[in-house]
Each structure stands twice: as C-alpha cells, then as structure tokens.
Amino acid sequence: MTLTAEVPETYADVVRDAQTLRRFLHGLPGVDQVGAQARAAALATRSIKKGAKQWALELAIRCVDLTTLEGADTTGKVRALCAKARHPDPDDPATPAVAAVCVYPDLVAPAVEALAGSPVVVASVATAFPSGRASLATKLADVAEAVQAGASEVDMVIDRGAFLSGRYGQVYDEIVAVKRACGPAHLKVILETGELSTLDNVRRASWLALLAGGDFIKTSTGKVSPAATPPVALVMLQAVRDFALSTGERRGVKLAGGIRAAKEAVRYLVMVKETAGEEWLDPALFRLGASSLLNDLLLQRQKERTGAYSGPDYVTLD
Amino acid sequence: MTTVEPGGRVDVRKTYKLYIGGAFPRSESGRSYPVTAADGSFLANAAQGSRKDARDAVVAARKAFPGWSGATAYNRGQVLYRVAEMLEGRRAQFVAEVAAAEGTGAAESIVDATIDRWVWYAGWADKITAVFGSANPVAGPYFDFSLPEPTGVVAVLAPRSSSLLGLVSVLAPVLAGGSTAVVVAAEHQPLPAITLAEVLATSDLPGGVVNLLTGRVAEIAPWLAAHRDVNALDLTGADDDLATELERAAADNVKRVFRGPRGGTEPDWRADPGTRRLAAFLETKTVWHPLGI
Amino acid sequence: MPTWEYAPAPEARETARLRESYGMFIDGEFVDGDGERMKTVNPADEAVLAEVPVAGPSDVDRAVAAARRAYEQVWAPLPGRERAKYLFRIARAIQERGRELAVLESLDNGKPIKESRDVDVPLAAAHFFYYAGWADKLRHAGLGPDPRPIGVAGQVIPWNFPLLMAAWKLAPALATGNTCVLKPAETTPLTALVLAEICQQAELPPGVVNVLPGAGETGAALVAHPGVDKVAFTGSTEVGKQIQRNLAGTGRRLSLELGGKAANIIFDDAALDQAVEGIVNGIFFNQGHVCCAGSRLLVQESIADTVLDLLRDRLGTLRLGDPLDKNTDIGAINSAAQLARIRELTAAGEAEGAHRWSPPCQLPDRGFWFPPTVFTGVSQAHRIAREEIFGPVLSVLTFRTPAEAVEKANNTPYGLSAGVWTEKGSRILWMAQRLRAGVVWANTFNRFDPASPFGGYKESGFGREGGRHGLAPYLADEAEEAGA
C-alpha cells in the first residue's frame, strides 16, 4: 500500500500495510447468515402506525437520494427529476424536499443549475460506475469531472474483482485516492453487496471502506440484483455502530437498489434506530437511493393525511 | 353425452388441453385425438402431445425443481394437503369423469380412495427424512449423517387403466419427496388427469411442479426416456416391450428406473402403497464432519 | 427522550371473542359441573377475564370414563387414515382461528402478542398437521411392525405455552390412537377450552378429547386415576418427581418434561452479533418462562467484556409493556406467585454477591412485571446458577476452555437444553457430543419444530415430544408388558 489516509488513531497500525489490513479484516467476527436474517425479520414485525408512521414517512422522504442512472438520461430528464426533488408533491407544498439527486457525472451541471437555491444537493456516481472496471487514472478523472461540475457528493464503486481476489490493500488505496480527489465533496463507497455475496464479505468490505475514509458506506449500484436487503443493511449498520463505538466517529449508511415500497423504507428506519441508534435517523447519516420509492412514500403520506387510499394519478411521473 | 330437451339448456363443453408450467396450452403440434367412454361413446378430443410438448414440459419441470425441493417439507405437505381439499371439493365432478372413463359402478369408492391416497402422501412430506435418513456410527471422530434428497425431474407413465386412483398413486410419491414430474396420462382414459391438473393449478402448487401430457404413449415416452435432463423414469403405464425399450434408452444418462409388475397386470391400487415408490425417487447424501475442539 | 417514539399498536382485544364464562369439555359437550368455579385473570392488569369451573373428582371420573368408552368403541378401532383426517381438520381450524387464539393467549398468559401470533399458534397448528400424517404410517416409524395405542392418556400441562403445550400433548396421543383427558394450568385455561371447541367443530367423536380446568388437586386426581393408562406431565421438577413416586408399581406409563437451567455457551470465535441475539432470545423470549431457557450464560473469559457490552446495548432496545401491543417484546409475569419466586431468587442473587443490572424500564402500575435482569460475577455455587428462576433473569459465568465449558454446563441435575456459539464446525459437534442435554442448539436458540424431538436428560425428564420419537411415549410396548 502506498498511500496514507486520515485513519482514526485507534486503527492507524491496522492499515500500515496490506498484510496487516488483511489480518484485521479476516479477524472480524463472522456473521451467521440465518441469525442475521432472523434478526432482520424480527425487526420487520415492528408495527409503526399513526404519528410514528407519519414521522417515519417524512424522514424517509428527507433521506431519499432521488436517482436516475440510465443510458438514456438527458438534460430534460434530469431537470424533471430535480423539480420533483425540490417539490415532491405538487398538491402539498409542506412535503419536505429529498436529500439529494443522484446522476452520472456528465449530467451534474444541469442538475446543479436546476437545484440552485434549494436544499437538495447533487450527488454523482463516479469511478467507472457501475462496474468499476477501468484504470485508476480513468476512475480519478471521472471523480474530478463530477466535482468540478459541482457535485457535493460522490458515490464511488469499489473494485469487486480486487476484493474477491483478496487484494484488500489495492481496494483500500483506491478509496483513499478517490477520497482525496473528492476534495470537499463527501464520499459514499458502494460495496455492491450483491456481488460480494456473503455477509462476512459485507462486514469486511464495510470496515475496509470506513478505515479508508468513506463518509458513507452504500449497498449497491442498483444495477445488480440482489441489491439492498435487510440482512445486508443490518450488517452495515452494525459496522458503523461498532466503528463509532471504537473511534467516536459516526459514518453513514446508504441503502440503494430494490427498495420500492414505503413499508420497506419504514422497516429500514426501524432497523437503523434499533441497530445503530437514533443519531443515525438523519439524512446526514442515512440515505435511501431510489427512484420509484419516492412516489410510494408520497402515496402513503397522502393516505395518512386524508385517511383514504390514494392512487397513481395523484403522484407525478417524471 | 347430453341431449337438449325442448326449452332446455345447451351446456358449455370443456376443451381438454395439456398442463405445462402452470398453464394449459394446446399441443404445439395442433393435433388432437378422440377419447371415448367405456361404452364407446365420444367424450371429447384430447390434445395429442408431441415431442416438443414433452421437451417443454421437462424444461418447466426443471425450472420448478429448485423452488419445490427447496421449500420446507412442512410447506410441501401443506400444499399437497390443499390439493386434497380441492379434490374433495370437486368430488362429484371426478366421480362423473371416472364413471365415464372406466365405466364402473365403483367410481365413488375410487374417488374416495384417491383423496385418501393423496392425503396419505401429503402427510409423508415431513416424515421422509426421519424414516429414510440416519446418523451413522462410524468408527472415528466424525459426525456422519445421511439425508434423502429428491432426485430431480421424474417422467411418469401413468397406469393404463386406473385413470385417477392409479394416476395419483404414481404422481403423489414423486411430489412428496420433493421432485417435479412430467406425467404422460393414460392414453385411452386421459380426461380425469386433465381435471386433476385443474385441481393442481388451483392448489398453491407452483407452476411446473407437475406437467401433464396427453397423447400416444408410444410416441411421447421414448423422447422422455432418452432425455438427458430427466433424472428418473416410472414405467408403470408401459407394456412390457415398450418398457424394455425405454429402460434401454434410459441407460444413456443412467436414469433411475422404476418398473411396474411384469406381465401386464395392473397393481391393486387400493392396497397400502408401502414406501417403495417414495424411496425410488430419493437420492442419499452422506456427510462427514470431524469432532474436535 | 427518543426522537422517534413508536405509537401504541394494540391488537384488537375483541378478536379474542372472550366470554364471561367457559365450561369444561367432557364427552363432547361443554358442561359447568356442580363444583366450585375459579376466575382467570389477565396478568398484565390483574383484571378478571372469565370464569371457569374447577373439575372435581366426579368430573375426573366422568371424563376418564368417556375417554375409555371413546377409546374402546370409536377411536382405537378407527383406521389411521380416518384419525388423520380429524387431526388435519383441527390443524386447519387452528390456522383459520389463529388471530383469535393468539389474542386470547396473550390476554390469559401475559405473553406479547408478537410471540403468540408468530410462535405459539403457528407451531400448535403445525404439531397437529405433522402428527396427523403419522396416524396411518405408524408401521413405518421404526417402532415395530404393528404399533398399538396405550389407551386413555391423562395429560397435565403448564401455563407458559398453554395452547402449544396442549397441541404437543394431544396431537401425538390422538394420532397413535389414544384418547385424552387434558388438564390445562390453573392460570391459563382459556385457549385449551377454545381448542376443545375446535375439536367439537371438527366433529371429533365425543370423549376422544376432554378438557378439565382446575388447579393442583384436579391434576393430582387425574394422574392418580386408575382409569388412566398413560400419564404425560410437563411442569416443575418437584411435581414431576411426586408423580413418578406415586405411579411407582402401578405399571402405568409415564413421560415427564420438567425444568431446566440451560447453559448458553459463547466461544471467542462466535458470530458475536448473532450470539447476542441468541442470548436475548434464550432468556427473554416468553419472559424467560421457558423450561429450556438459556438461563446461564457461559461466556469465554477472553471476550466476556465485549459480549456483555453488546448485550447491555441490545437490552436497551427491548420494549416491556402491554402484551397486546404488537411492539412489545417483554410481557407480563404470569402470576403473583411466579413474580414472588423471581423476586426471591434475584434477592438471593444479590445477597450472595452477584452484580445485578437491568436496562432502564418503565413497569406498569398494575399487573405482574419484572424487568430483564442480568447478573454478572455469578459462580456455580450461587443459587441463581443452580435453581430455575423461570423469569427474565440471566446469570453470567465465564470459562476458559471447551472442556471447562462442558464441565460447567453439565454440572447440574437438569439436562434439558444447551446452546453453543462458535464458527468452528468441529467444535460444535464435539461440544454437542459431550453436553448432557436433550436439545443442543448450535448457533441458534429456542428453535422448535414438530418434526424435531424435544425432551430432557436427568431431572429435566424423560420421553420426547416431536418427531418420530414423539410417537413412542404413546405406543404400547408389548414386550415391556410381557416382561421380556
């Protein structure tokens, strides 16, 4: 490993070389998959109603990173998304804005323009998203473009090939380099948990990303299935909890991919509260990367307000 | 066949199709053949399945296998019990079809026996491991256990002249053990089988777990016997010459072959089935693991 | 103050279809009897739920006679496949009336609705479904070529899983061809009586199942009754021994499922977060009112502090309160008597020098409540390490090596269950081989299934419930009868 990063003192010697880092990651406690699934399922039985549900729906909306990452994206599409991000429900101006809009680097500029004057920030994917298969130089150039165009958040992907072949030092170095290239922008590290496959790997990759300076660890690109799942989210929340306990630093978790229903979002908020703690119930430490989820959140919010089930004509399709 | 009385009502006749992947398609060959009742009168046209239908059925059965074999035994038992609930609900319909097909006054007791036979197998699903598995006392510091597992896709030739009870007696053990099935119905009495397929389709049984073909057994069976993605073969409905030919073809990918009695005699389907058919479609997996600190 | 309060999420009490009074179930009918009546109380608020009759000696006589007649004339002669269909009907009806039974169970027992809904009721249905399937397959069970029933079974069950214990007793007994007289616990008679109603709706022949509410006297009369061929008892070790003494020399068959003081063993290489879940599940599920509860935590000394930190953190998310609230994790203690016992033993724990800790917990004013409690610095000689508390109280001890863990785990007259947490497969199997317990849970805890035999070693009882082995206690042993 060639680069140094601002690692919390507790772990300074863990990252001094690739072998030590590997021993640390392999020494983390294992995760029993069945037990993790059972805990996640038990948390899903929490019944969140009335005021508690309304609070959760509001928070969930505020935690959404409204996303469009398609080959067919255009300036027009991005502008429409940004309008939605600022005012998600045209019939109810009291609806909070989302946290961020997430786009490809070459569409950051129109997003920044469309969101000027609003609290919604622009996040950009980078580092040869979604595959991450490119040279480090290409990936860093990708990051630089996004930041120069005005992105205040960068969602990078780790090199899963390197991770799965045990080259943790290389993965670490890349994250550190990307973090440096981000400048003032905050960095989310996408683990692509679907490709990592095991919960043990999710734990290791989470710790690796946190040690390397990621502000957020993120489940998925949304281009691979499975993406965010309850047991994966549980393990990642436990990682940020344990990291905070041992260093005093709170890092965030972003769940992305496959979350379509408001009910799921509320379940994840329960999981955040009962795993990491209430401090994480805030867009500064928790995000939901989604596109269609926002509309379901709005529909549920409407139902809570009016008492009647709503329908697709009452949310906008952008 | 009904005749319409003056001022009476014309009934809507059922079209008998195949059952593949949870759906009811016609044969891709477009062919059908007439089915007559025991008294020789015309009953209906049944689809005459082709080798391509058989091919599609195997694909469907294979696709359904991970889900069916991966379900808990309790779940399989409950689904099979649900089939029995549906059978009971349609009892009168089956009695009429069996009477028409087999021309027998025993249709009521046949249908009763059929439902009870199905319930018997539903109750087997979560007993198989305890009865066919074991922990083995090897002479060393190892934990050693053997578990039965379903073999996979089973092609079944339904009995020639027991259109419902015999059919159920050869199909249910395949399902109870966790395998999926491609069944070739009795050539001359296929209609109860298709009605059974309707029951299966409304019983929470996932599509593809059972696939049913009607048609000329001698035409369809060799394609199944030689099919390399079929794991086992039940030759009950084949006469001796055909059965031998099929057994030979099955050797090509070492299928597990289950034969009925020789000499063309039909088994007594009312008798206690025992566990032979259950065991025939189970593999045994033995696992070793050291014991040590 | 939390940022996000979960609003109350109560299950509707009306779902239980609670009646003011229930009858006892004898020979297919609900009857009041002419003896005294008793009230059953909701332990969450001490309010009276309903009134039930106390079965007296003449009621026991009638019930046993009805069971005998039904056995000889109807049930034993019935082919297994017909018996099976009755049991399948009962299983399906329990599923259909699942919500009603769950709410009633939580009202009568005090356990959280989440548990009665997700564990008790589904498992009860599953037991009937599983044993229904054995009724016509007994000769394949590996228990002889022609297994025969014993006769009339007298069955006494405890208050901790009222409906589930009734299912564990009735299902195998009926499947094998026996008839039953069941005595539910004094404080929890209601779901057993609704189960009797389900039997009635299923048109189970009269006398095959009889349910006699009552207290200790009713139970004693039942198990001593000369017309009972087979006694099955789940309850305290003390009473179990009494029954075993009283039946000595009578030739009557007996199975016992008694108390426990299970060791939940955590090694330093355990999957820690899941192990902590296992600890919590092990002792706080059902308020610790579980015979197989993991009431002794044996944690490897090298990670004891880490585990306890994680555990204390986790206990902070447990919610204690109204059993009918869907978000409640810890419900009420079943009775004043049980609460007194828990208090006595925890006081002893403190007096003997162990250190006591509970997460901050708001206990309701009325009802019987005890907060989840952890004692550290416990040693084998402490009362709280040896006696069954039967409440949400965990005693924590440490060990250094696998051999020491086994030694401490086995160092008890009990032997019902044990838990082992380690990622190393060979160690799981090595430990399982050496633990003197009827059930060993590895990397899990408190898992039950009708296909899986459950029961104890040593003073935790004998006989198994569940699985193929669960048939044996209800089948006649001709060889034994012939003295071979």
Query: Which of C173, C182, C71, C184 shows the shortest CA–CA distance to C132?
Result: C173
Q: Are B182 and B58 a contacting pair, CB within 8 Å? A: yes
**Degrees to nearest 5, angle at CA B71 with B70 and B74:** 140
pLDDT at residue C234, rounded to an integer: 98
Q: Are B27 and B53 a contacting pair, CB within 8 Å? A: yes
Residues C275 and C297: their CA atoms lie apart, in Å, by 11
Quickly tell me which residue has 């929890």 as its tokens. C188
How near does any CA of chain C get to the CA of A236, in Å?
12
User: What CATH code would you report for A28-306?
Assistant: 3.20.20.70
Query: Which of A279, A278, A270, A198 shows the shortest CA–CA distance to A235?
Result: A198
Residue ranges in chain C whose pLDDT is less than 50: none
Taking residues B99-115, report their average pLDDT: 94
Residues C43 and B68: their CA atoms lie apart, in Å, by 44
CB neighbours (10 Å) of residue C361? 17
pLDDT at residue A8, rounded to an integer: 86
**Does the pLDDT value for residue B1 go beyond 90?**
no
Tell whether C445 and C473 lie within a shared domain. Answer: no
Q: Domains in chain B, ordered, with CATH?
A: 32-290 (3.40.605.10)
pLDDT at residue A4, rounded to an integer: 46
Nearest CA in chain B to C424: B293
Asked if the structure places residue C146 within a domain, the reply is yes
Q: In a 10 Å sphere around its CB, with 0-12 CB exposed, 13-18 middle and 19+ buried, how is residue C415 labelled? A: buried
Asked if the structure places residue C5 within a domain, the reply is no
**Does the pLDDT value for residue B3 go beyond 80?**
no
Tell whether C69 and C172 lie within a shared domain. Answer: yes
C-alpha neighbours within 13 Å on the C-beta side of residue A202: 29
**Does the pLDDT value for residue A2 go beyond 50?**
no
In three-state secondary structure terms, A202 is: helix
Looking at residue C104, which CATH number applies to its domain? 3.40.605.10
C-alpha neighbours within 13 Å on the C-beta side of residue A272: 27
pLDDT at residue B83, rounded to an integer: 98
Per-chain mean pLDDT for chain A = 96
pLDDT at residue C330, rounded to an integer: 97
pLDDT at residue B260, rounded to an integer: 75
Tell whether C221 and C253 lie within a shared domain. Answer: yes
Tell whether C313 and C358 lie within a shared domain. Answer: yes
> DSSP code of C413?
S
Residues of A taking part in catalysis: 155, 218, 254
Tell whether C246 and C268 lie within a shared domain. Answer: no
Tell whether C217 and C267 lie within a shared domain. Answer: no
Out of C84, C130, C430, name the one closest to residue B292 (CB): C430
Tell whether C415 and C466 lie within a shared domain. Answer: no
Binned at pLDDT 50, 70 and 90, residue B265 comes out as: confident
**Does the pLDDT value for residue B5 go beyond 90?**
no
Asked if the structure places residue C8 within a domain, the reply is no
Binned at pLDDT 50, 70 and 90, residue B103 comes out as: confident
Percentage of chain A beyond pLDDT 90 is 97
Most C CBs within 10 Å: which of A33, A47, A203, as the mutation test of the C interface? Answer: A47
Q: Are B194 and B154 a contacting pair, CB within 8 Å? A: no
Percentage of chain C beyond pLDDT 90 is 97
Are the Cβ atoms of C3 and A47 closer than 8 angstroms?
A: no
Task: Give the range of the structural domain holding residue C351, as residue numbers without chain letter.
Answer: 263-450
Tell whether C142 and C274 lie within a shared domain. Answer: no
- Using one digit for the tens of pLDDT, what is the confidence trace for A163-204? 999 999 999 999 999 999 999 999 999 999 999 999 999 999
Asked if the structure places residue C7 within a domain, the reply is no
Are the Cβ atoms of A39 and C277 closer than 8 angstroms?
A: yes
pLDDT at residue B104, rounded to an integer: 76
In three-state secondary structure terms, B170 is: helix
Q: Which residues of A touch C (CB under 8 A)?
A: 29-32, 34-36, 38-39, 45-53, 55-56, 59, 238, 269, 273-274, 278, 281
How many domains, chain C? 2
Q: Are B23 and B87 a contacting pair, CB within 8 Å? A: no
Residues B281 and B273: their CA atoms lie apart, in Å, by 15
Tell whether C282 and C227 lie within a shared domain. Answer: no
Domain boundaries, chain A: 28-306
Task: Give the pairing type, strands C37-41 and C48-53.
Answer: antiparallel
**Does the pLDDT value for residue B264 go beyond 70?**
no
Asked if the structure places residue C4 within a domain, the reply is no
Quickly tell me which residue has 């391509």 as its tokens. B52
Task: Give the pairing type, strands C296-300 and C263-266.
Answer: parallel
Are the Cβ atoms of C443 and A38 closer than 8 angstroms?
A: no
**Does the pLDDT value for residue A297 go beyond 50?**
yes
Asked if the structure places residue C319 within a domain, the reply is yes
pLDDT at residue C33, rounded to an integer: 85
Residues of C taking part in catalysis: 257, 291
- Using one digit for the tens of pLDDT, what is the confidence trace for C294-343? 999 999 999 999 999 999 999 999 999 999 999 999 999 999 999 999 99
pLDDT at residue A1, rounded to an integer: 46
Most C CBs within 10 Å: which of A28, A32, A207, A285, as the mutation test of the C interface? Answer: A32
Tell whether C231 and C297 lie within a shared domain. Answer: no
Looking at residue C425, which CATH number applies to its domain? 3.40.309.10
Residue type at C257 in one-letter notation: E
Asked if the structure places residue C2 within a domain, the reply is no
Asked if the structure places residue C181 within a domain, the reply is yes
Residues B180 and A251: their CA atoms lie apart, in Å, by 49
Write the CB contacts of C91 (distance below 8 Å, at least 6 apart in sequence): C125, C126, C127, C128, C129, C132
- Using one digit for the tens of pLDDT, what is the confidence trace for A30-63? 999 999 999 999 999 999 999 999 999 999 999 9
Out of B119, B131, B292, name the one closest to residue C85 (CB): B119
Question: Which of the two residues, C2 and A10, has the higher pLDDT score?
Answer: A10
Which chains share 3+ C-beta pairs under 8 angstroms with B?
C
Chain length of chain C: 484
Are the Cβ atoms of C426 and B119 closer than 8 angstroms?
A: no
Measure Cα distances from B67 to B213, C144, C330 in Å: 22, 35, 36
In three-state secondary structure terms, C373 is: strand
Tell whether C248 and C277 lie within a shared domain. Answer: no
Peptide bond into C43 cis (omega under 30): no
> Residue A238: its chain C contacts at CB < 8 A?
273
Tell whether C249 and C301 lie within a shared domain. Answer: no
Residues C22 and C48: their CA atoms lie apart, in Å, by 13
Taking residues A3-21, report their average pLDDT: 85
